[in-house]
Chains A and B, each alone.
Chain A
Amino acid sequence: MLEGLLIGLETALSLQNLLMVIGGCLIGTFIGMLPGLGPMSIIAIMIPVAISIGDASAALILLAGVYYGAIFGGSTSSILLNAPGVAGTVASSFDGYPLARQGKAGKALTIAAIASFAGGTIGAILLMIFAPALSSVALLFHSAEYFALMVVGLSAIAAFAGTGQIAKAMIMTILGLIMATVGEGALFNLPRFTMGIMDLQSGFGFITLAMAMFALPEALFLVLKPKTLKAGESEITELRITRAEAKAIAPVIGRQSLQGFFIGVLPGAGATIASFLGYAVERNIAPKDEQEQFGKGSIKGLAAPETANNAACTGSFVPLLTLGIPGSGTTAILLGALIALNVSPGPRLMIDEPQIFWAVIMSMFIGNLVLLILNLPLIPYIAKVLAIPRNYLIPFILFFTLMGAYIGQNNATELLLLIGFGICATALKFADYPLAPLLIGFILGGMMEDNFARSMQLYDGVAFIWERPMTLGLLVIALILIILPSYRARRAKYHASGVADGS
C-alpha cells in the first residue's frame, strides 16, 4: 500500500498535474456556484478537455479537481443565496442560509469548506483502506432496503416540525410527495397527472422546484417586506470559527464522514440521501437546547450535511472502482471518461493498473487539499456578495434563479413553472408554512415510489417488509426518528403550559 501511495504521490505532484488540479478546482468552484450546473454537467463539459490530455492520471486529477470544486461551489450558492443547485446541497441551505442572514456568511462558508474537506479526506482514507472489502457492502441493499432508507431520510422533516408546526410540516411533505408523482415514473410507460402538457412529461425539474421554493420566495420576501431587514444586517462579521465551535462540530464531522461514506457506497442512495440522513441523525442526537437551533442557523446543522455529502461522493467511488457500477449520475459520466481513457474499472483494476487506482485516491486528497487552500483566503471575497446593496442584489438573485432553471434544460416552460411555484411558495411562506419539507418530499418521493413498487413486484405484495429483517429494522428506526421529536416537543409544551390544558 505504501508503495502504491508513493506511485500515486509521484504522479500527482508533477508540476503539470498540480496545475491541473488547481485549474480544475477553480473552474469547478466558479461554474458550480451557478445553480443548474451541478458536478454532473460540469464534468460532462470538461470530459473532452480531459480526454484530449491523453494521460489517464492527469485527466483524472483534472476531473477530481472539477468535481470537488463543483460540490463546494454548489454549497456556496445554497448558503449565500438559498439557491441549492443540486439536490445534495439542499440540506446545507437549511442552516447555512440562516447563518448567512445573521451576518455569519464567512463563518458558514468556512464551516462548509472545512466540513467538505474533512468529509472528502476521511472518505478517501476509508476508500483507500477498505475499497476491496466494501464491494460486498455495495450489493447488500435491495430495493426494499432502499425504500426503507428513503423513509428514514424523510424523517429529516421532523427538524421543521417545531412546536405547533407538525401539521404544517406534514402537509408540505405530502404536497412534495404528490408533486413527485407528476410525469413518467420509472414504473409506468404512460404520463401521469400531466394534464396533456408535454413539458410535464418528465415531471417537475428539481432545480426549478428548488429555486421556486427557496431562492425566489427569499428574493420576493426581501422586496415585499423591506423593513424586516435591519440596516446592519447585511454586514459580514465573524469570518473565523472559534475554538468552541470547532470543538462542537468535530464529532459531527467524524460521525458524518463515516455515515456519509457508507451511504455513498450504496449505488442506489448517494449524496442527497446521505445529507438528509446526516442532518436528521445529528439533530436527533444533539442536546435539547442545540436541537432548537437546527433550521435557524446551527453550525452543527450545516457541518452535518456538508460532511456527509462529500463523504458520500467519495464513497460512490467504491462500486465504481471495484465493481464497475456507477452509483450516481456523476460517477456514470466518470465511468465513461475512464473507459474512453482505456481504463476499465472493475475488480481487475487494482491488479492490472494499480497506478490508476492510486492516482484516483491521490487526486482526491490533493483535490480536497487544494480546494481548502484556494478557498479559505477567497471566502471573505465570496461572502462579500451579500454586502452588495439590495437594489442590486435582488435582481442578481432573480437572474441567477431564472438562469439556473433554464440553463440545464433549455426549456422556457421551466421559467413559467418557476414563477408560478415561486408565487405559491411566497404565499405559503407568509402563512408560515415551512418550505423545506416540500422539497425533501419531492426529492425522496420519486425514489421512494420506484423502490417500493419494485419490491412489491418482486415479492408479489408487501411481504418484503417483514421478510427482510434489514428493511424492518430501517423502518423501525424511521418511526423512532419521526415520533421521538414530536413526542419530546409535545411533552415540553405540556410541561411549559402546565398541567391545565392537557393537550
Chain B
Amino acid sequence: MMTFNIGRRALMASAVAVLGFATPAMADGHKILDSIHFLIPGGAGGGWDGTARGTGEALTTAGLVGSASYENMSGGGGGKAIGYLIENADSNHGTLMVNSTPIVIRSLTGVFPHNFRDLTLVSGTIGDYAAMVVGKDSPINSMDDLIAAYDADPSATAIGGGSVPGGMDHLVAAMVMEAAGKDALGVKYIPYDAGGNAMAALLSGEIAALSTGFSEAVDLANAGEVKIIGVTSADRVPAAPDAMTMMEQGIDTTFVNWRGFFAAPGLPDDKLAMYQDAIAQMYDTAEWEDVRARNGWVNIHNSGGDFQTFLEEQETVIGDLMKKLGFL
C-alpha cells in the first residue's frame, strides 16, 4: 500500500512539474515548510480542486512552501478522502485536505460516517456568501417582493438552486424564508445539477428566484442580466455595492460557504503550527492576491480554535434547520 502511494504521488508530482505548477521556490529565507501534499476529495476541475491548487500555487510561488503536490480522490461525495485520511493518519502528516461547507451538511445527514471533529482543523481560508437572484425582467426587486409573491402563490414561486434538496442552496433558501417568518417547508425548491443550468432556468423563466453563490451571480448582475435581491453577508460586498444584504431588509440571517484545510488526526502540534503559520503569512503575499482575485474568492481566515468555533456554530444552525425541514 505504501509503495503504491509513493508511486502515485511521484507520478502526480512529476505531472505537476511538467505542467509548470512547481515553479522553483524563490528562496527568500522565509520558507516555512519543505512540501505540502494536497488531498482533493473530488475530481479535477471542481471547486475543491481549484482551491487546493490555487493555495498551493500561492504558497510555493511566494516561497513559503518548497513544493506542492496534489492528489484527487473522489468518491462518496468526499467521504472516501476523509476516511482515507483518518485510516492512514500516521503516514499522512504531510497532507492537507481541502473541504468546505458540505463536510458539515453531509456529516449531519450521515452521508459519511465521520465529521470535522475526527480531523485536525488547520484553517478556514476563503469563503463565498450566498445570494438570492432574480432575472432582469422580473417584477421582483427585493426580498419583500419575493416574500409577497410567495405569500400570494407559493406553488408558482419556485426557488431553484444548484444543489440537491437538503444541500447548501436549498438550506440557504429555507434559512432566509425561515428568518423572514415564513414556513421553510412550504418553499418549492427545484434542484439543478450545476449552477450554470440553474442560472439558465432562471433566465428562461422556469423558476422565480435562484439561490446561489454570490461569486457565481456577481458578474451576471454587473452585466445587467440578473438582479441580486439579497446577500447573506453582514455588510454589503464591495464587488456589488448595490446589492442589499438580507440584514438590511429585516431578514436576520447570515451565511458563509467557507473553504478550508484539514489535516490527519493526531497531527503533532509543531507541524500544525507550521501549516497555520504558512497559511496566515500567505494572505500578505502578492502571489496570493493574484490567485484570490483571479478566482473571485473572499478572504475569510479562521485559524485553529476560531475555525472550530465557526464550524460548531454552523453545525448548530444548519442542524436545527435540517431537523425542521425533516432532512434529519
Contact = CB atoms under 8 A, between A and B. Distances in A.
Q: Is chain B a partner of chain A in the same complex?
A: yes
A201 B77 contact: yes
Interface stretch (B124-132, B217-225, B251-259, B305-313): B217-225
A18 to B, nearest CB: 21
Contacts, number: 150
A454 B191 contact: yes
A202 B77 contact: yes
Contacts of B205: 139
Contacts of B71: 410
B199 A201 contact: no
Contact of A319 (B77, B80, B158, B200): B200
B200 A48 contact: no
Nearest to B215: A339
Nearest to A341: B294
B88 to A, nearest CB: 14
Interface stretch (B91-99, B163-171, B264-272, B276-284): B163-171
Given A143-B201, A198-B83, A198-B112, A333 B327 contact: no
Contacts of B45: 40-41, 44, 329, 333
B164 A201 contact: no
B74 A457 contact: no
B196 A267 contact: yes
B167 A344 contact: no
A170 B180 CA distance: 51
A450 B192 CA distance: 8
Interface in B175-202: 188, 190-194, 196-197, 199-201
B155 interface: yes
A45 B44 contact: yes
B116 interface: no
Interface in B274-327: 294-296, 327
Interface stretch (A188-196, A256-264, A300-308): A188-196
B43 interface: yes
Contacts of A346: 219-220, 223, 225
Interface residues of B, number: 56
Contacts of B193: 186, 450
Contacts of B83: 198
A413 interface: yes
Nearest to B79: A198
B76 A325 contact: no
Contacts of B192: 186, 450, 454
A103 to B, nearest CB: 36
Contact of A187 (B155, B165, B225, B294): B165
A295 interface: no
A2 to B, nearest CB: 27
A333 B295 CA distance: 12
Contact of A48 (B8, B21, B165): B21
A48 B196 contact: no
B109 A189 contact: yes
B203 A323 contact: yes
Contacts of A460: 155
Nearest to B76: A198
B196 to A, nearest CB: 4
B6 interface: no
A198 B45 CA distance: 22
Contact of A326 (B20, B196, B225): B196
Contacts of A332: 194, 196
A187 B162 CA distance: 11
A44 B44 contact: yes
12 contacts: A44-B49, A48-B19, A48-B21, A186-B191, A201-B77, A202-B77, A336-B50, A336-B295, A340-B294, A411-B73, A450-B193, A457-B190
Given A202-B76, A457-B190, 20 more contacts: A41-B43, A44-B44, A45-B44, A48-B21, A143-B201, A187-B164, A187-B191, A189-B327, A190-B109, A199-B76, A201-B75, A201-B79, A323-B220, A324-B220, A336-B295, A346-B220, A347-B223, A409-B74, A450-B191, A454-B191
Interface of B: 8, 19-21, 43-45, 49-50, 53, 57, 71-77, 79-80, 83, 109, 111-112, 155, 158, 164-167, 188, 190-194, 196-197, 199-201, 203-207, 219-220, 222-225, 294-296, 327
